[in-house]
């Protein structure tokens, strides 16, 4: 029986002993697991930890600045920031098919990550935020029926040909313990409690081909959803809440003007592991506030709809 404090002390000793004077690479996504792994390893080896954070152009609003401020400045970690937005969006231009989008994003990520890690000298270890549930469900790609439906990939996924030793200091912890370790290491509540976000990012919440302009519409709408759900005190108790961009336009009226603009769908689901999920009965007044704010504040949207599909038969993400 150990406390999180003694867990941290013990891991710090083990990481130092294992790594020696070598450098460690970690793919930072901004999610709970990679953030806590980064904080823990940084406590152990400081500047020997090299975080790589890839902006694929599919991140939520202000996410890149948030990650750079927290890890690069507040924690003063060595952080390689790669803004690969143009590269990803160029490869995704005109691609509508969900699985094609996922494959392109996965392949592109591996290349960008590879290029960035090649610059780091004496890198012998690749750190990952693997947790205990990841270990026990560690046949997810082939054995898990959910993986047959969508080709999941995690930012920081290990390219097979990489010749690093693995460093996985969270591999014996459950999610709640990972969060507690993060708190002890000084990560803000907003980071340790954040909702899951898919590796392919907003691309799987933007139906059809993505473009800078329509991704911005989705980002602005999504920001409003998260803000209002937080204000209502529901963000940390609901599994996921987000906006989905529909590339179809409907007719509306604004003042005396006819409008012809895009549709945003809202998704809110309750779940314990993402394998099954129930749509959440959000209060009508909250739905109303989100809807009017999106329509008033986001140019190009004149209609908001609510997704009342559970999983199964729906999936959580729309693509």
* Residues annotated in a binding site for ATP: 29-35
Element at 106 (helix H, strand E): helix 98-118
- List the x/- string, 243-282, binding to ligand XMP by CB under 6 A: -------------------------------x--------
For tokens 């592991």, the residue is: 273
- Helices 4-19 & 175-184, crossing angle to 10 degrees? 80
The answer to whether 157 contacts ligand XMP (rule: CB under 6 A) is no
Residue 181 beta carbon to ligand XMP: minimum distance, rounded to whole angstroms: 20
Q: Are 240 and 272 in contact (CB under 8 A)?
A: no
* C-alpha pair distances (Å), 273 with each of 11, 133, 240, 278: 27, 10, 11, 12
* Binding window for ligand XMP (CB under 6 A); candidates: 74-82, 111-119, 149-157, 259-267: 149-157
Residue 129 beta carbon to ligand XMP: minimum distance, rounded to whole angstroms: 11
Q: In what order do the strands lie in the sheet with 23-27?
A: 78-83, 49-55, 23-27, 123-127, 165-167
User: Contacts with ligand XMP in 202-241 (CB under 6 A)?
Assistant: 240
One of 117, 128, 154, 214 touching ligand XMP (CB under 6 A): 154
CA atoms within 13 A on the CB side of 74: 12
Three-state SS sequence of 113-144: HHHHHHCCCCEEEEECCCCHHHHHCCCHHHHC
Residues 6 or more apart in contact with residue 40 via CB below 8 angstroms:
8, 11, 12, 15, 169, 170, 181, 185
* Binding window for ligand XMP (CB under 6 A); candidates: 84-92, 243-251, 260-268, 310-318: 310-318
Residue 134 beta carbon to ligand XMP: minimum distance, rounded to whole angstroms: 11
User: Contacts with ligand XMP in 111-140 (CB under 6 A)?
Assistant: none
Judged by CB under 6 A, how many residues of this single chain contact ligand XMP?
15
Complex with ligand XMP: residue 15 or 112, whichever CB lies closer: 112
* C-alpha pair distances (Å), 315 with each of 4, 204, 205, 243, 269: 35, 11, 12, 14, 10
The answer to whether 194 contacts ligand XMP (rule: CB under 6 A) is no
For tokens 């709640």, the residue is: 176
Residue 111 beta carbon to ligand XMP: minimum distance, rounded to whole angstroms: 17
Determine the Cα–Cα distance for residues 308 and 306; give it in Å rounded to an integer.
Answer: 6
Residue 266 beta carbon to ligand XMP: minimum distance, rounded to whole angstroms: 15
* Binding window for ligand XMP (CB under 6 A); candidates: 50-58, 196-204, 216-224, 226-234: 196-204
Complex with ligand XMP: residue 223 or 317, whichever CB lies closer: 317
One of 24, 298, 301, 316 touching ligand XMP (CB under 6 A): 316
Binding-site residue ranges? 29-35
Determine the Cα–Cα distance for residues 16 and 242; give it in Å rounded to an integer.
Answer: 40
Complex with ligand XMP: residue 152 or 206, whichever CB lies closer: 152
Where along the sequence are the contacts to ligand XMP (CB under 6 A)? 146, 150, 152-154, 196, 198-200, 240, 274, 311, 315-317
């Amino acid at each position: 029986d150990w406390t999180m404090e003694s867990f941290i002390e013990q891991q710090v000793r083990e990481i130092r002993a294992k790594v020696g004077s070598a450098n460690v690479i970690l793919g930072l996504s901004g999610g709970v697991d990679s953030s806590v792994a980064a904080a823990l390893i940084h406590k152990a080896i400081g500047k020997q930890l090299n975080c790589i954070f890839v902006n694929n152009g599919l991140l939520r609003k202000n996410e890149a600045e948030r990650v750079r401020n927290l890890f690069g400045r507040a924690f003063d970690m060595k952080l390689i920031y790669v803004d690969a937005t143009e590269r990803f969006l160029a490869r995704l231009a005109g691609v509508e098919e969900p699985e094609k989008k996922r494959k392109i994003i996965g392949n592109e990520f591996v290349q960008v990550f590879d290029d960035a890690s090649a610059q780091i000298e004496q890198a012998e270890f690749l750190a990952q935020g693997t947790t205990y549930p990841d270990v026990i469900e560690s046949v997810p790609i082939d054995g898990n029926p959910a993986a047959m439906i969508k080709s999941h990939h995690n930012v920081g996924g290990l390219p097979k040909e990489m010749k690093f030793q693995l460093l996985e200091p969270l591999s014996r912890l459950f999610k709640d313990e990972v969060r507690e370790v993060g708190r002890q290491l000084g990560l803000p509540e907003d980071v340790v409690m954040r909702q899951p976000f898919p590796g392919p990012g907003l691309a799987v919440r933007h139906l059809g081909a993505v473009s800078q302009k329509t991704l911005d519409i989705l980002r602005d709408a999504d920001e409003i959803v998260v803000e209002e759900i937080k204000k209502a005190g529901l963000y940390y108790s609901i599994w996921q809440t987000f906006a989905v961009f529909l590339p179809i336009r409907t007719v509306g009226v604004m003042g005396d003007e006819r409008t012809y603009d895009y549709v945003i769908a809202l998704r809110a689901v309750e779940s314990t592991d993402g394998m099954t999920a129930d749509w959440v009965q959000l209060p009508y007044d909250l739905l109303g506030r989100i809807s009017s704010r999106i329509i008033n504040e986001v140019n190009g949207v004149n209609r908001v709809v609510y997704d009342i599909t559970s999983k199964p038969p729906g999936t959580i993400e729309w693509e």
